[in-house]
Amino acid sequence: MYIITEELRKILKKPFGKVYKELPDISGKVVAIGDITTKNLLFKGIIPHLSIFDLKTRRNIPVSINHRFRKVFEVRNPPGCISDQAMEMIKYLSKVEEGNTALKVDGEEDLLALPVIKYFPYGTYVLYGQPDIGVVVLKIDEDLKKKVERIFSMMIKK
């Protein structure tokens, strides 16, 4: 299990990339992190390759996602952590060709963008919400993977 430190918490509060009020044109493999991001993409007719959510927003407000995913996996991931189970599942899902898959998280999904960036191939788009601002759109490249490796090296490994 990886646990974030207070120092990392401050670093991770800042968006990793550009924040958009409106979703820009994107084409290719998309991974959506978060309930609202997933709902907004589906509403716009964009079906993510992988959607990661916990069916809550703002930690405790219930969210329903009315979409038939091809397959739904479940993992446990405590707040402020990245569980070994979540890491392994994301690693596995990064190799699955079929899209329209969901990963339902018991706990918190916010940090799971990090293993997505670590394991998914170059060129994959990773989208996550920045509360009250918009959506962050990242395209995985070598620089982003290196940044994520540095973050993992700063985490507490248990």
One digit per residue, pLDDT tens: the chain, 158 residues? Answer: 999 999 999 888 888 889 999 888 888 999 999 999 999 999 999 999 999 999 887 667 778 899 999 999 999 999 999 999 999 999 999 999 999 999 999 999 999 999 999 999 999 999 999 888 899 999 999 999 999 999 999 999 98
Q: Please indicate if the annotation marks 106 as binding a ligand.
A: no
Residues 88, 38 contacting (CB under 8 angstroms) = no
36 annotated binding-site participant:
yes
According to the annotation, is 21 in a ligand binding site? no
Is 56 among the annotated ligand-binding positions? yes
pTM of the complete model beyond 0.75:
yes
